[in-house]
Amino acid sequence: MYNPFAVALLALEAQKVVELRLVKLAWGGAEGQAEAQQMVSEKVSAFIEASGTLMTGGSYDMVVTRYREHVAANTKRLSAA
């Protein structure tokens, strides 16, 4: 079973990353292009990590917790610029 409260928090927190990334992409240039490439790379890595967690017996809660850590790191990184 999963914790719907944690999933809701993930959705809210991810919206901030979407906002910050859209601003960076809208500015364009080398930084915008680098962000677009990093975003795609992160999506692929997150999928592989989540799949591995579930295939090795991990729970949905573990996946959501790890995604929230990634989202927090992205929020911090994108807010610093």
Instruction: Report d(CA 1, CA 80) in Å as an integer.
Output: 36
Predicted local distance difference test score (pLDDT) of residue 2: 79
Predicted local distance difference test score (pLDDT) of residue 1: 66
Per-residue pLDDT of the chain (81 residues; tens, 9 = 90+): 679 999 999 999 999 999 999 999 999 999 999 999 999 999 999 999 999 999 999 999 999 999 999 999 999 999 985
Other C-beta atoms closer than 10 Å to the C-beta of 47 total: 10
Predicted local distance difference test score (pLDDT) of residue 73: 96
Predicted local distance difference test score (pLDDT) of residue 37: 96
